[in-house]
Structure 1
Amino acid sequence: MTGKKQTEETKFRVLPILISLLLAGFIGMFSETALNVALSDLMKVLEITPTTAQWLTTAYLLTLGILVPISGLLLQWFSTRQLFVAALCFSILGTFLAAMSPNFEFLLTARVVQAMGTALLLPLMFNTILVIIPAEKRGAAMGLIGLVIMVAPAIGPTIAGLLIESLSWHWIFWLSLPFLVIALICGILFMQNVTKVTKPKIDVLSIVLSSLGFGGIVFGFSSAGEAEGWGSPKVIIAIAVGVASLVLFVIRQITMKQPMINLRAFKFPMFVVGVLMVFICMMVILSSMLILPMYLQQGQGYSAFKAGLLLLPGGIINGLMSPIMGRLFDKYGPKWLVIPGLVIVAVSLWFFSSITATSTVVFVIVLHSALMVGVSMIFMPAQTNGINQLPMELYPDGTAIMNTLQQVAGAIGTALAVSIMTAGTKSYMESASNPADPANVLPAFTQGVQNAFVFGMAMAIIGLVIAFFLKRVIVQHKAQVSMH
């Protein structure tokens, strides 16, 4: 009997599974952010307005916001291999279509297909790692995910800037394609089924409410962040429908015997603290990653490539710090990483709120690097600690909740930052003695950007208060495998 149990315990080939997942995840995250730098180029080539161009990012986030909540259900309906292959097929098809795109509509469709792949892949990656890696080594493994999730967006803009300058924006996608094919082949060869397929009953109403809820909120906030403004009927209706649907969704999940997302996960206090930390962290990262390159290009007149280069050191430092933070988390728990991390983030954003057109390259690189070190101290430890408190059967639900709220936080954070920036610019212009004077444009834009950084700092301070409630979770249940 012990012999049989032993073989069962060591049946996962952890390394090949990890490599397949991380490679696919890396390219998914890379293409999600690489396009941001190309937006100004795309506006010229495709003759579209900034508001229209923004849809390439919004549609991507919207698809994730709709599909990720359903991922918990999909993980119980299909085997790991089936989901992995499906995710990569969507990613490959979307990337190929994007590389071939002749016009905006075609590219937008390609982005949605790409996002379907990412939406399946992200929860699958987290869930698989939770199942195949024992709790005491989980911080280090999550650190590897952190490395992938953070380095890809960091080098995305730089590589994209280089490709745009020397080739064309199509090459952002041509470059990703071979790596996705390699990841698919690795997956077919090495991926194993790590979860049980239970095929729970599918509740169509839950899926509709979840899609309307998360979709409405992401759409509403994204539209507000564009040119629409908060007062437009489109924004108000979308957010209202989103909130109402979410309330109904929550009520339905609580009253069902077999809910689509098991909200019992929220009964675990450290999971709740982890969710809040990840939410705040995501708002801060995505809003500053949008505002900063924008200011470097429009306020300081750098090219896409140079702006990308300035942000590269911070991204790489963050990626390299993630596995180190993972090991420290395994050893010391989350509190002594998360609290100093939030202090570093708040201080960096406070300094950023004094950025001007004359701020030096060193100022930008040092502060951005400090910001990224702070983020690496918060994100992964809070997330892993939160999920560690859940019983094993709630892992798919826990990862679905965390991943969904990350997308929602991203949409809300960027929308709030953009609207705060716009409002700041507007109020400067209104108080200027001669608003028509072109000399006022740059100081007005600068004030808007500074206000957006103050918003980020305020979010970090709220996070700091919550962080004092963090406690280390000692995992009771044994993981299913050992690391052979």
Structure 2
Amino acid sequence: MSRPQLDSPAKSAAAASGRTPAVIRLLVLATFVVILNETIMINAIPRLMDALRITEQTAQWLSTAFMLTMAAVIPITGWFLQRVSTRSAYTTAMGLFLLGTALAAVAPSFAVLLGARIVQASGTAVMMPLLMTTLMQVVPEKDRGRVMGNVTLAISVAPAMGPAISGLILQLGSWRLLFAVVFPIAALITWGGLRRLKSVGEPQVSTIDWFSVVTAAAGFGGLVYGLSRFEGGDVRLAASIVVAGLIAIAVFVFRQLSLQKRGTPLMDLRTLRHRTYTVALILMSVSFMAMLGSMILLPLYIQNIRGLSALQTGLLMMPGGLAMGLLGPTVGRLFDKFGGRVLVIPGAIGIMLALAGFTQVSMTMPYWQVLGLHVLLMLSLAATFTPVFTLGLGALTPELYSHGSSILGTLQQVAAAFGTALVITVMSARADALKAEGVTAALANLGGMRLAFIIGAVLSVAVVITALLLPAKADNGGELVGAGH
């Protein structure tokens, strides 16, 4: 049904010139701005606490709500992307993002700012699967590693630049500037994109199952919300919300299995019958948990324990993000030439070594050592993510691409929330226990961070084990679980 999409003009142009198709370049640019915005708030939290007179727990909701919305909206994107044209999906994503950004810039209260972040996140939730699905449709298999490498360049440089850029903007003025600066850039990219963007593939008319929409939003949203409540909240209540979320997800899964028989699932779970895709999904989720955990712990360590400013923190963490991005295209070319294993296995080992190094943080650890470990972590993630995304999605048949990227995006958000909840809960519990023993606040917090990094290092062992299960090349939908391989 979707196979003719692969013979689109964009594909033959890409194949002929060996260049990244224009549609992908436009989508990468838009995705860069949207993702930059996800991490731009990290450094602004102390400023927001003063300006809006809110606690740190309340301020964290600006990040939690973003993840929550992504987790609730992304499951619907697989169905949405099959039903509308590329242009319509792009217009929806960037329209929501611009509306949220404008609202955030003028937000008179925390509640309005939170609402604005939710609107922004809805746009971001559509943008990521749109980019991945379109890439799989228009780029021939032999070039996918290279193009995915360039995509990784944009996607990984953006979160790395976020804290540094926000640190710089916050030196100039109010937190509102963060949104005021992003808005005209995003508006210009949207205008340029709409002028030049051509639709890829034919939209398919299908009905939506609203029961699936509700159970997906309640399940994935509830799970992410429950996990976020572990951070200094009522543990019993948090656990109850997590269990309720898991029950809703189980109902959602059974509903999809029954809808698959009629050919109208909201999220097509036949993707999970492809062994390579499932292994890639697990590897990506665990890597994301480890990465997000360290991305939250490091700024806390550098600012709260070592006393550096937001701008200095951003600058210290910037080389790692830039190194990750700049390595992206090289990783892509190596993947096209040698396959995934030669990159993913050393990458997984690098992640483990970097996180093991961070378990040794102290009051006097030299900054060059923090910088070196962070660069190692980011380079290892670069070597892992590009092949994992390409192998995972490449293992699917074309009609499953939009569902595959939607499941990937949903699990990313759940993994990010789980990683965040895990490190913050472990860190707080350990710090409180040490304070009760009479240890000073700074040393107690440091002890909490070290234990949280140990958890990350333990998780990374699972990344190494999973990496060993990945094949070298995508199996193009041929390798089904239980199909006797």
TM-score, structure 1 as length reference: 0.93
Q: For the structure 1 residues 57 and 476, does the alpha-carbon distance in structure 2 shift closer, same or farther, using more than 3 Å as the test?
A: closer
Report Cα offsets for 1:336-362 as digits up to 9, x if no partner: 111111111111111110101211110
Deviation of 1:56 after TM superposition, in Å, equals 0.5
Following the alignment from structure 2 to structure 1, what is the Cα–Cα distance between the partners of residues 342 and 12? Answer: 34
The residue that corresponds to 1:120 in the other structure is 126
Q: For the structure 1 residues 378 and 170, does the alpha-carbon distance in structure 2 shift closer, same or farther, using more than 3 Å as the test?
A: same
Whether the 8 Å contact between 2:350 and 2:380 is mirrored in structure 1 is yes
Pairing partner for 1:324 from 319, 330, 333: 330
Deviation of 1:474 after TM superposition, in Å, equals 4.3
The residue that corresponds to 2:308 in the other structure is 302
1:236 lines up with 2:239 in the alignment = yes
Deviation of 1:171 after TM superposition, in Å, equals 1.1
Q: For the structure 1 residues 446 and 6, does the alpha-carbon distance in structure 2 shift closer, same or farther, using more than 3 Å as the test?
A: closer
Partner of 2:41: helix, strand, or coil? helix
Deviation of 1:240 after TM superposition, in Å, equals 1.3
Whether the 8 Å contact between 2:163 and 2:314 is mirrored in structure 1 is yes
The residue that corresponds to 2:483 in the other structure is none
Whether the 8 Å contact between 1:277 and 1:379 is mirrored in structure 2 is no
Report Cα offsets for 1:443-482 as digits up to 9, x if no partner: 11011001111111111101111111111234558xxxxx
Deviation of 1:221 after TM superposition, in Å, equals 0.5
Per mean C-alpha deviation after superposition, the further-off stretch among 188-197 and 271-280 is 188-197
The residue that corresponds to 1:418 in the other structure is 424
Report Cα offsets for 1:302-343 as digits up to 9, x if no partner: 111111110000010011111111111111111111111111
Q: For the structure 1 residues 198 and 165, does the alpha-carbon distance in structure 2 shift closer, same or farther, using more than 3 Å as the test?
A: same
Following the alignment from structure 2 to structure 1, what is the Cα–Cα distance between the partners of residues 9 and 120? Answer: 38
AA in 2 matched with 1:255: S
Following the alignment from structure 1 to structure 2, what is the Cα–Cα distance between the partners of residues 407 and 7? Answer: 34
Following the alignment from structure 1 to structure 2, what is the Cα–Cα distance between the partners of residues 92 and 11? Answer: 31
Within 5 A, what are the aligned runs for 1:291-370?
291-370=297-376
AA in 2 matched with 1:267: R
Following the alignment from structure 2 to structure 1, what is the Cα–Cα distance between the partners of residues 378 and 393? Answer: 23
Q: For the structure 1 residues 11 and 144, does the alpha-carbon distance in structure 2 shift closer, same or farther, using more than 3 Å as the test?
A: closer
Report Cα offsets for 1:253-282 as digits up to 9, x if no partner: 112222111101111110011001110111
The residue that corresponds to 2:255 in the other structure is 252
Whether the 8 Å contact between 2:11 and 2:21 is mirrored in structure 1 is no
Partner of 1:228: helix, strand, or coil? coil
Within 5 A, what are the aligned runs for 1:435-450?
440-450=440-450
Whether the 8 Å contact between 1:279 and 1:409 is mirrored in structure 2 is yes
Partner of 2:40: helix, strand, or coil? helix
The residue that corresponds to 1:193 in the other structure is 199
The residue that corresponds to 1:455 in the other structure is 455
1:106 lines up with 2:127 in the alignment = no
Structure 1 residues not aligned, in runs of 5+? 478-484
Q: For the structure 1 residues 54 and 466, does the alpha-carbon distance in structure 2 shift closer, same or farther, using more than 3 Å as the test?
A: same
Q: How many pairs does the alignment contain?
A: 464
Whether the 8 Å contact between 1:326 and 1:381 is mirrored in structure 2 is yes
Whether the 8 Å contact between 2:157 and 2:321 is mirrored in structure 1 is yes
Pairing partner for 2:403 from 397, 413, 427: 397
AA in 2 matched with 1:247: A
Whether the 8 Å contact between 1:75 and 1:195 is mirrored in structure 2 is no
Q: For the structure 1 residues 7 and 463, does the alpha-carbon distance in structure 2 shift closer, same or farther, using more than 3 Å as the test?
A: closer
Deviation of 1:78 after TM superposition, in Å, equals 1.1
Whether the 8 Å contact between 2:396 and 2:476 is mirrored in structure 1 is no
1:224 lines up with 2:230 in the alignment = yes
TM-score, structure 2 as length reference: 0.93
1:46 lines up with 2:49 in the alignment = no
* % identical equivalent positions: 35
Following the alignment from structure 1 to structure 2, what is the Cα–Cα distance between the partners of residues 324 and 14? Answer: 15
Following the alignment from structure 1 to structure 2, what is the Cα–Cα distance between the partners of residues 182 and 14? Answer: 21
Report Cα offsets for 1:237-265 as digits up to 9, x if no partner: 21111100111111111122221111011
Partner of 1:471: helix, strand, or coil? coil
Whether the 8 Å contact between 2:153 and 2:326 is mirrored in structure 1 is yes
The residue that corresponds to 1:382 in the other structure is 388
1:429 lines up with 2:432 in the alignment = no
The residue that corresponds to 2:150 in the other structure is 144
Deviation of 1:396 after TM superposition, in Å, equals 0.7
Whether the 8 Å contact between 1:270 and 1:473 is mirrored in structure 2 is no
Deviation of 1:215 after TM superposition, in Å, equals 0.4
1:97 lines up with 2:103 in the alignment = yes
Within 5 A, what are the aligned runs for 1:262-273?
262-273=268-279
AA in 1 matched with 2:373: L
The residue that corresponds to 1:181 in the other structure is 187
Structure 2 residues not aligned, in runs of 5+? 1-6, 478-485
Report Cα offsets for 1:351-405 as digits up to 9, x if no partner: 1101012111101111100010111111121121011110111101100010110
Partner of 2:230: helix, strand, or coil? helix
Q: For the structure 1 residues 306 and 206, does the alpha-carbon distance in structure 2 shift closer, same or farther, using more than 3 Å as the test?
A: same
Whether the 8 Å contact between 1:23 and 1:179 is mirrored in structure 2 is no
The residue that corresponds to 1:482 in the other structure is none
